[in-house]
Amino acid sequence: MQVAVPADAEVFDCRQAFGETLVELARRDDRIVAVCNDSVSSSNLTGFAKEFPDRLINVGIAEQDMVGVGAGLAGSGLIPFVCGAAPFLTARALEQIKADVAYSDVPVILCGMSPGLAYGELGPTHHSIEDLAWLRAIANLTLVVPADPAQTREAVRWAAYAKRPVFLRIGRFKVPAVSRGTPAFRPGRADVLADGDDVTLVATGTLVSRALWAADVLRTQGISARVVNVSTISPLDTATILAAAAETGRIVTAEEATVPGGLGSAIAELVVEHRPVPMRLLGIRGAFAPTGSTEFLLEHFGLTADGIVRAARELVCAEARTSRP
């Protein structure tokens, strides 16, 4: 089965929900400011810039300065959303994120725009697949990956008043709505989007919709898959994950990021210590992406519903074979 977004499903760029929500917040609270690195348009700050020109601090192409400035603003009682393309915000300013924001414990909201393979053909310099690994290693930094516009809106509203260092990974690659119920986003909580007993598909961001499609396919094959959306990667919702391990006995993780250090690693670290079960970790390992669109690259790395189905079947069928007399 070739998986693509079905033609009739509406898909959304989460940056738009981000930009609109930030303007809403800024209208009600003049402590809200935005900081960016010449990325007004790509960070979806055009509306903010128009309405609040004095509260948009564009430091130019200078990410280290951008994050330091954010820390200085936060230390002065303002609520800065520091926005830049995820690869440059995280890699270029990693030490500022660690020392000025997380270790200094100031309420800066770091907004990594267009993460993962979003910049497709622009190549590995512009891909941000290592960010989850880098940021997950930093203490005192809440790491949030909204999976759709509803989660994005609620995560932005929460982060503004969380009074702590937060990183929001805001997707550019268009995704369908996947979150259910209200609230769509609960900080620190993973959401079970589909119930199942044979295997759990744990996904984040772009891969959540693909995990849901995979569960549909698996159901037609007689395999009951639970789907968990992990929108807060750090700190992890340990109860939901360990319950899934205990109740389904198998876990597949899927993310638009490196397997080393990413969501899969986080789940594996937890599970191996407390409830070891067979796992398959889907993501990118030991490779810089070849040239191609985001959709092409997701397929290239097996980050599709198909890829998730294959991994889940491997787990279920391998166990069926070994347990047969």
Return residues touching another protein (CB under 8 A).
33, 35, 54-55, 57, 59-60, 62, 64-78, 80, 95-96, 99-100, 103-106
**261 φ/ψ sector (left φ>0, alpha ψ -120 to 50, else beta):** left
Q: Which is nearer to another protein, 77 or 325 (CB)?
A: 77
Supply the minimum distance, in Å, between the C-beta of residue 67 and another protein. 7
By beta-carbon proximity to another protein, the closer residue of 103 and 296 is 103
The smaller minimum CB distance to another protein, of residues 53 and 181, is found at 53
In whole angstroms, the minimum distance from the beta carbon of 122 to another protein comes to 23
Cα–Cα distance, 260 to 148 (Å, whole number): 24
3-state SS track over the chain:
CCCCCCCCCCCECHHHHHHHHHHHHHHHCCCEEEEECCCCCCCCCHHHHHHCHHHEEECCCCHHHHHHHHHHHHCCCCEEEEEEEHHHHHHHCHHHHHHHHHHCCCCCEEEEECCECCCHHHCCCCCECCHHHHHHCCCCCEEECCCCHHHHHHHHHHHHCCCCCEEEEECCCCECCCCCCCCCCCCCCCEEEECCCCEEEEECCCHHHHHHHHHHHHHHCCCCEEEEECCEEECCCHHHHHHHHHHHCCEEEEEEEECCCCHHHHHHHHHHHHCCCCEEEEEECCCCCCCCCHHHHHHHCCCCHHHHHHHHHHHHHHHHHHHCC
> CA 206, CA 296: separation in Å to the nearest integer?
14
Of residues 16 and 64, the one with the C-beta less far from another protein: 64
Tell the smallest beta-carbon distance from residue 52 to another protein (Å). 11
Question: Closest distance between another protein and the C-beta of residue 80, in Å?
Answer: 8
Residue 64: CB minimum distance to another protein, A: 4
Minimum CB distance to another protein smaller for 60 or for 276: 60
* Smallest distance, another protein to C-beta of residue 59, A: 5
Q: Please, which residues bridge with residue 199 across strands?
A: 225
Q: Which is nearer to another protein, 97 or 175 (CB)?
A: 97
User: Smallest gap, in angstroms, from Cβ of residue 144 to another protein?
Assistant: 22
* Cα gap 232→229, rounded to integer Å: 9
Q: How far is the CB of 163 from another protein (least distance, A)?
A: 13
Nearer Cβ to another protein (59/309): 59
For another protein, the closer of residues 75 and 183 by Cβ is 75
